[in-house]
Amino acid sequence: MSESLFFEQQDGSRIAYKIYEPYKSDTTDEIPLVMIIGLWSTKEILMGLEKELAKDRKVIVLDNRGIGESTVASETDPCSIELMAQDIIALIKHLAITKFNLLGWSMGGQIALCVALNIPPTLKLEKLIVCASWVHVSNASFDNLYHLPKWDYPKSLQEQRKEITVLFEKNFIDYLLKKPETFDKLTEVLFNSRRPFEMFKRQWEAIKQSNFASKLHMIKVPTLIIHGEIDKLVSIQEGELLANEIPDAIFVRIPKVGHM
Protein backbone atom coordinates (compact mmCIF):
# COMPACT_ATOMS: atom_id res chain seq x y z
CA MET A 1 0.00 0.00 0.00
CA SER A 2 1.36 3.41 -0.98
CA GLU A 3 2.19 5.73 1.92
CA SER A 4 1.48 9.44 1.90
CA LEU A 5 4.38 11.72 1.07
CA PHE A 6 4.58 15.49 1.58
CA PHE A 7 6.16 18.57 0.07
CA GLU A 8 5.94 22.18 1.18
CA GLN A 9 4.91 25.00 -1.09
CA GLN A 10 6.60 28.41 -0.94
CA ASP A 11 3.65 29.87 0.99
CA GLY A 12 3.95 27.21 3.71
CA SER A 13 1.13 24.98 2.52
CA ARG A 14 1.95 21.28 2.92
CA ILE A 15 0.69 19.10 0.09
CA ALA A 16 0.08 15.37 0.65
CA TYR A 17 0.38 12.94 -2.22
CA LYS A 18 0.74 9.25 -3.00
CA ILE A 19 2.61 7.50 -5.80
CA TYR A 20 1.50 4.15 -7.20
CA GLU A 21 4.17 2.44 -9.24
CA PRO A 22 3.15 0.25 -12.22
CA TYR A 23 3.14 -3.48 -11.51
CA LYS A 24 2.67 -4.84 -15.04
CA SER A 25 6.14 -4.08 -16.35
CA ASP A 26 5.57 -5.69 -19.74
CA THR A 27 3.04 -3.01 -20.76
CA THR A 28 4.26 0.00 -18.81
CA ASP A 29 3.43 3.49 -20.09
CA GLU A 30 6.46 5.63 -19.30
CA ILE A 31 4.39 8.80 -18.89
CA PRO A 32 2.87 9.12 -15.38
CA LEU A 33 -0.74 10.08 -14.74
CA VAL A 34 -1.58 12.79 -12.20
CA MET A 35 -5.16 12.62 -10.81
CA ILE A 36 -6.96 15.60 -9.24
CA ILE A 37 -10.08 15.10 -7.13
CA GLY A 38 -13.07 17.38 -6.71
CA LEU A 39 -14.88 19.69 -4.31
CA TRP A 40 -14.70 18.79 -0.59
CA SER A 41 -13.09 15.47 -1.49
CA THR A 42 -9.86 13.74 -0.52
CA LYS A 43 -7.68 11.45 -2.61
CA GLU A 44 -9.32 8.40 -0.99
CA ILE A 45 -12.56 9.19 -2.87
CA LEU A 46 -10.98 7.53 -5.92
CA MET A 47 -11.92 4.24 -4.24
CA GLY A 48 -9.24 2.13 -5.92
CA LEU A 49 -9.43 3.64 -9.42
CA GLU A 50 -5.90 4.94 -8.94
CA LYS A 51 -4.62 1.43 -8.17
CA GLU A 52 -6.41 -0.03 -11.19
CA LEU A 53 -4.84 2.57 -13.48
CA ALA A 54 -1.44 1.90 -11.90
CA LYS A 55 -1.35 -1.58 -13.43
CA ASP A 56 0.63 -0.22 -16.35
CA ARG A 57 1.63 3.36 -15.49
CA LYS A 58 2.83 5.42 -12.56
CA VAL A 59 -0.14 7.18 -10.91
CA ILE A 60 0.13 10.19 -8.62
CA VAL A 61 -2.80 11.39 -6.50
CA LEU A 62 -2.93 14.27 -4.03
CA ASP A 63 -5.09 16.14 -1.57
CA ASN A 64 -5.79 19.71 -2.58
CA ARG A 65 -4.49 22.31 -0.14
CA GLY A 66 -6.25 22.53 3.21
CA ILE A 67 -8.12 19.24 2.95
CA GLY A 68 -7.37 15.60 3.71
CA GLU A 69 -3.73 15.30 4.70
CA SER A 70 -2.80 18.58 3.01
CA THR A 71 -2.64 21.76 5.05
CA VAL A 72 -2.46 25.52 4.64
CA ALA A 73 -0.12 27.77 6.55
CA SER A 74 -3.00 29.88 7.85
CA GLU A 75 -6.80 29.73 7.81
CA THR A 76 -6.75 33.12 6.10
CA ASP A 77 -4.61 31.87 3.18
CA PRO A 78 -6.13 32.46 -0.26
CA CYS A 79 -7.72 29.57 -2.13
CA SER A 80 -8.36 29.68 -5.87
CA ILE A 81 -8.37 27.36 -8.85
CA GLU A 82 -5.20 29.06 -10.06
CA LEU A 83 -3.46 28.50 -6.73
CA MET A 84 -4.44 24.80 -6.64
CA ALA A 85 -3.17 24.48 -10.22
CA GLN A 86 0.13 25.98 -9.06
CA ASP A 87 0.25 23.24 -6.41
CA ILE A 88 -0.05 20.60 -9.14
CA ILE A 89 2.74 22.16 -11.19
CA ALA A 90 4.93 22.50 -8.10
CA LEU A 91 4.36 18.83 -7.22
CA ILE A 92 5.32 17.71 -10.73
CA LYS A 93 8.49 19.79 -10.56
CA HIS A 94 9.21 18.46 -7.06
CA LEU A 95 9.07 14.91 -8.44
CA ALA A 96 11.42 15.84 -11.30
CA ILE A 97 8.83 14.81 -13.89
CA THR A 98 9.09 16.44 -17.32
CA LYS A 99 6.23 14.70 -19.19
CA PHE A 100 2.87 13.75 -17.70
CA ASN A 101 -0.79 13.06 -18.35
CA LEU A 102 -3.47 14.76 -16.27
CA LEU A 103 -6.96 13.68 -15.17
CA GLY A 104 -9.31 15.96 -13.26
CA TRP A 105 -12.79 15.21 -11.92
CA SER A 106 -15.36 17.92 -11.06
CA MET A 107 -13.44 20.80 -9.44
CA GLY A 108 -10.33 18.80 -10.30
CA GLY A 109 -11.28 19.23 -13.95
CA GLN A 110 -11.19 22.99 -13.53
CA ILE A 111 -7.78 22.72 -11.88
CA ALA A 112 -6.56 20.48 -14.72
CA LEU A 113 -7.73 23.02 -17.30
CA CYS A 114 -5.90 25.76 -15.42
CA VAL A 115 -2.73 23.63 -15.38
CA ALA A 116 -3.05 23.11 -19.15
CA LEU A 117 -3.36 26.85 -19.68
CA ASN A 118 -0.36 27.70 -17.49
CA ILE A 119 2.09 24.89 -18.19
CA PRO A 120 5.69 26.17 -17.98
CA PRO A 121 8.02 25.52 -20.92
CA THR A 122 10.08 23.08 -18.84
CA LEU A 123 7.12 20.67 -18.59
CA LYS A 124 5.12 18.85 -21.25
CA LEU A 125 1.49 17.84 -20.76
CA GLU A 126 0.88 14.94 -23.15
CA LYS A 127 -2.84 14.25 -22.64
CA LEU A 128 -5.65 15.83 -20.66
CA ILE A 129 -8.79 14.10 -19.30
CA VAL A 130 -11.61 16.17 -17.82
CA CYS A 131 -14.50 14.35 -16.09
CA ALA A 132 -17.83 15.89 -15.02
CA SER A 133 -16.45 19.41 -14.95
CA TRP A 134 -17.37 22.87 -16.10
CA VAL A 135 -15.86 26.12 -17.27
CA HIS A 136 -17.99 28.49 -15.24
CA VAL A 137 -20.73 27.69 -12.72
CA SER A 138 -24.12 28.60 -14.15
CA ASN A 139 -26.26 27.22 -11.29
CA ALA A 140 -26.33 27.42 -7.51
CA SER A 141 -26.00 23.68 -6.86
CA PHE A 142 -24.05 24.10 -3.59
CA ASP A 143 -25.22 27.54 -2.48
CA ASN A 144 -27.69 26.21 0.13
CA LEU A 145 -24.93 24.14 1.68
CA TYR A 146 -22.51 27.05 1.46
CA HIS A 147 -24.79 29.36 3.44
CA LEU A 148 -25.15 27.00 6.40
CA PRO A 149 -23.49 28.47 9.53
CA LYS A 150 -21.77 25.15 10.29
CA TRP A 151 -21.69 21.50 9.30
CA ASP A 152 -22.66 18.74 11.72
CA TYR A 153 -20.40 15.84 10.83
CA PRO A 154 -21.76 12.31 11.31
CA LYS A 155 -20.81 10.79 14.65
CA SER A 156 -20.97 7.18 13.48
CA LEU A 157 -20.69 5.11 10.32
CA GLN A 158 -24.46 4.65 10.43
CA GLU A 159 -25.01 8.41 10.44
CA GLN A 160 -22.47 8.80 7.63
CA ARG A 161 -24.29 6.20 5.55
CA LYS A 162 -27.58 8.05 6.06
CA GLU A 163 -25.94 11.35 5.08
CA ILE A 164 -24.76 9.82 1.80
CA THR A 165 -28.33 8.85 0.91
CA VAL A 166 -29.43 12.45 1.50
CA LEU A 167 -26.61 14.33 -0.24
CA PHE A 168 -25.85 12.26 -3.33
CA GLU A 169 -27.79 11.81 -6.57
CA LYS A 170 -30.51 9.17 -6.66
CA ASN A 171 -28.95 7.19 -9.49
CA PHE A 172 -25.70 6.95 -7.50
CA ILE A 173 -27.55 5.81 -4.38
CA ASP A 174 -29.33 3.16 -6.47
CA TYR A 175 -25.91 2.00 -7.68
CA LEU A 176 -24.54 1.85 -4.12
CA LEU A 177 -27.52 -0.17 -2.92
CA LYS A 178 -26.69 -2.78 -5.55
CA LYS A 179 -23.02 -2.72 -4.50
CA PRO A 180 -23.04 -2.99 -0.67
CA GLU A 181 -19.26 -3.45 -0.42
CA THR A 182 -18.74 -0.23 -2.38
CA PHE A 183 -21.32 1.54 -0.20
CA ASP A 184 -19.50 0.40 2.96
CA LYS A 185 -16.13 1.51 1.60
CA LEU A 186 -17.41 4.95 0.58
CA THR A 187 -19.01 5.36 4.02
CA GLU A 188 -15.69 4.61 5.71
CA VAL A 189 -13.76 6.90 3.36
CA LEU A 190 -16.02 9.89 4.01
CA PHE A 191 -16.28 9.22 7.74
CA ASN A 192 -12.51 9.02 8.20
CA SER A 193 -11.53 11.89 5.88
CA ARG A 194 -10.53 15.31 7.11
CA ARG A 195 -12.86 17.62 5.21
CA PRO A 196 -13.12 21.01 6.95
CA PHE A 197 -16.38 22.81 6.20
CA GLU A 198 -14.45 26.07 5.87
CA MET A 199 -12.37 24.53 3.07
CA PHE A 200 -15.57 23.42 1.30
CA LYS A 201 -16.75 27.03 1.39
CA ARG A 202 -13.48 28.36 0.08
CA GLN A 203 -13.31 25.75 -2.67
CA TRP A 204 -16.88 26.57 -3.73
CA GLU A 205 -15.97 30.27 -3.84
CA ALA A 206 -12.94 29.39 -5.97
CA ILE A 207 -15.10 27.40 -8.38
CA LYS A 208 -17.65 30.21 -8.75
CA GLN A 209 -14.98 32.84 -9.33
CA SER A 210 -13.13 30.93 -12.05
CA ASN A 211 -13.91 31.33 -15.75
CA PHE A 212 -11.68 29.97 -18.51
CA ALA A 213 -14.19 30.06 -21.37
CA SER A 214 -12.32 32.68 -23.38
CA LYS A 215 -9.01 30.78 -23.07
CA LEU A 216 -10.05 27.21 -23.88
CA HIS A 217 -8.95 27.56 -27.50
CA MET A 218 -5.39 27.92 -26.22
CA ILE A 219 -5.32 24.32 -24.94
CA LYS A 220 -3.44 22.42 -27.65
CA VAL A 221 -3.00 18.97 -26.05
CA PRO A 222 -5.24 16.00 -26.98
CA THR A 223 -8.16 16.21 -24.55
CA LEU A 224 -10.80 13.67 -23.54
CA ILE A 225 -14.02 15.08 -22.04
CA ILE A 226 -16.14 12.54 -20.12
CA HIS A 227 -19.59 13.47 -18.82
CA GLY A 228 -22.63 11.62 -17.46
CA GLU A 229 -25.85 12.40 -19.30
CA ILE A 230 -27.91 12.85 -16.11
CA ASP A 231 -25.40 14.82 -14.03
CA LYS A 232 -27.49 17.01 -11.73
CA LEU A 233 -24.59 19.02 -10.34
CA VAL A 234 -22.75 19.87 -13.54
CA SER A 235 -24.96 19.90 -16.64
CA ILE A 236 -23.77 17.86 -19.61
CA GLN A 237 -23.98 21.09 -21.61
CA GLU A 238 -20.87 22.17 -19.71
CA GLY A 239 -19.02 19.14 -21.04
CA GLU A 240 -20.26 19.92 -24.54
CA LEU A 241 -18.97 23.50 -24.18
CA LEU A 242 -15.53 22.22 -23.20
CA ALA A 243 -15.46 19.83 -26.15
CA ASN A 244 -16.54 22.56 -28.58
CA GLU A 245 -14.00 25.11 -27.39
CA ILE A 246 -10.90 22.93 -26.94
CA PRO A 247 -9.45 22.34 -30.45
CA ASP A 248 -8.25 18.73 -30.09
CA ALA A 249 -11.02 17.29 -27.92
CA ILE A 250 -13.05 14.09 -27.93
CA PHE A 251 -16.39 14.09 -26.06
CA VAL A 252 -17.72 10.91 -24.43
CA ARG A 253 -21.27 10.87 -23.04
CA ILE A 254 -22.11 8.15 -20.51
CA PRO A 255 -25.83 7.23 -20.46
CA LYS A 256 -27.66 6.89 -17.14
CA VAL A 257 -24.69 8.27 -15.18
CA GLY A 258 -24.63 11.35 -12.96
CA HIS A 259 -21.87 13.33 -11.30
CA MET A 260 -20.34 10.45 -9.38
CA distances from 246 to 78, 85, 93, 215 (A): 29, 18, 26, 9
- At residue 27, the pLDDT reads 62
- Note the pTM of the prediction, 2 decimals: 0.96
- What is the per-residue pLDDT across 20-47, written as a single tens digit (0 to 9) for each? 999 876 666 789 999 999 999 999 999 9
What CATH code is carried by the domain that includes residue 202? 3.40.50.1820
Q: CB of 129 within 8 A of CB of 226? A: yes
Domain count, the chain: 1
Cα angle, residue 153 at apex, residues 104 and 187 outer, rounded to 5° = 60
Neighbours of 22 (CB within 10 A): 18
Helices 81-94 and 197-209, axial angle in degrees (round to 10): 100
pLDDT band at 1; cut points 50, 70, 90: low
Complete edge-to-edge strand list for the sheet that includes strand 249-254: 5-8, 14-20, 57-62, 29-36, 99-105, 124-131, 223-228, 249-254
For strand 223-228 and strand 249-254, is the pairing parallel, antiparallel, or unpaired? parallel
pLDDT tens string 197-225: 999 999 999 999 998 889 999 999 999 99
Task: Give the pLDDT confidence of 147-201 residue by residue, as tens digits.
Answer: 999 999 999 999 999 999 999 999 999 999 999 999 999 999 999 999 999 999 9
What's the mean pLDDT when you consider all of the chain? Answer: 94
Q: Could you list the residue range(s) of the whole structural domain that residue 97 is in?
A: 5-143+195-254
pLDDT digits (tens, 9 = 90+) for 61-106: 999 999 999 999 887 788 999 999 999 999 999 999 999 999 999 9
Task: Determine, yes or no, domain membership for 15.
Answer: yes
How big is the CA angle at 190 (ends 189 and 196), to the nearest 5 degrees?
A: 130
Classify residue 184: in a domain, yes or no: no
Quick check: is 18 in a domain?
yes
Average pLDDT over residues 133-151: 87
